[in-house]
Amino acid sequence: MPEHTFDDFEAGRVYALGSKVVTEDEIVAFARQFDPQPFHLDPEAAKDSVFGGLIASGWHTGAMWMRLYVDSLLGGASGQGSSGIEELRWLAPVRPGDTLSGRLIVLEVTSSESHPDRGTIRIRGEMVNQDGVTVMTMVSRGRFARRQN
Amino acid sequence: MPEHTFDDFEAGRVYALGSKVVTEDEIVAFARQFDPQPFHLDPEAAKDSVFGGLIASGWHTGAMWMRLYVDSLLGGASGQGSSGIEELRWLAPVRPGDTLSGRLIVLEVTSSESHPDRGTIRIRGEMVNQDGVTVMTMVSRGRFARRQN
């Protein structure tokens, strides 16, 4: 994986972040630890919920997107964390067996005036399922070191 | 835990969601699964990072807040999921041994015109550490069933 620094990002660039199959076991394990609502935790109880069956916690979907991002780009990059998310939408349920594909669009790159060795990128993140349905979108920021020459 | 429905929420009400000690093992386990950046994954590598030591993934902090919310309120509530987050800020690092306390402030309650059996609450969520430092804030929405009389 190439080492990505701040200087390798440019506004408008789109990255495919790879994909991931979501299993029922993973949905339930995440729910048990972090979001034990019946429709995330229990396939039987979920049938009677408004979702009609088990769905992944939205935090789980976000975390799976993050993993695709780290594996595709951030792992070999000079990332220095994030100050937060501007907005995040959970648009459609994520169900067991779904294959989720991550995308990242660079919206804006801003070099730091106070710290010339770093910069911030503003990105749109997307997660799309096997039917082409976008299940999650978000806009967030990430800080990166600049290339050291 | 009392059963919370939409009708039990009112704007301005503040809920203490309890607290949680964050261990190094938990930080590393979450990072291994979802956010394997060096400063989340490896205490030694993290010393050389801009954070000066291991810190929790922001997604992990969000998920821990969610767990406090479910345990305190949502578990016995009539929650029907969330359409998303309006904004989320990671304001300070979360480190091994930190005790995080969750808070929820109800900002707005809106009954549904199209579905008289439900409504939406807009909330501010906060996570505060043992030194009184707010490490995360967010504004999000949740849908709830109304009380059935």
Chain B residues in contact with A81 by the CB 8 A cut-off are 39, 50-51, 55, 58, 90
User: Tokens 């109880």 — which residue?
Assistant: A45
Dmax (CA) for chain B in angstroms is 60
What's the whole-number mean pLDDT along residues A130-134? 98
Using the beta-carbon criterion (under 8 Å), do B62 and A57 form an inter-chain contact? no
**Cα–Cα distance for residue pair B126/A111, rounded to 1 Å:** 30
Write the CB contacts of B115 (distance below 8 Å, at least 6 apart in sequence): none
* Nearest CB to B84; choose among A67, A71, A87: A87
Q: What is the pLDDT of residue A147?
A: 82
What's the whole-number mean pLDDT along residues A107-131? 94
Using the beta-carbon criterion (under 8 Å), do B57 and A36 form an inter-chain contact? no
Chain centroid offset of residue A52 CA:
25
**Bridge pairing between strands B118-128 and B99-111:** antiparallel
**Is the reported ipTM for this assembly greater than 0.90?**
yes
Mean pLDDT per 10-residue segment, chain B (149 residues): 77 97 98 96 92 97 97 82 96 98 97 90 97 98 85
* Nearest CB to B35; choose among A34, A50, A67: A67
Q: Please report the number of interchain residue pairs, chain A to chain B, with beta-carbon separation below 8 angstroms.
A: 98
Indicate whether A2 pLDDT > 60.
no
How many CA atoms lie less than 13 Å away from A108 in the CB half-sphere? 9
Q: What is the pLDDT of residue B79?
A: 86
Which residues on adjacent β-strands are paired with residue B40? Answer: none
Chain A residues in contact with B64 by the CB 8 A cut-off are 34
Using the beta-carbon criterion (under 8 Å), do A59 and B62 form an inter-chain contact? yes
pLDDT in tens, A44-55: 999 999 999 999
Which residues on adjacent β-strands are paired with residue A27? Answer: none
Indicate whether A76 pLDDT > 90.
no
* Amino acid in position B110: T
What's the whole-number mean pLDDT along residues A84-107? 98
Helices (H), A2-57: 24-34, 38-41, 43-47
Tell me how close the Cα of B71 comes to any Cα of chain A, in angstroms. 8
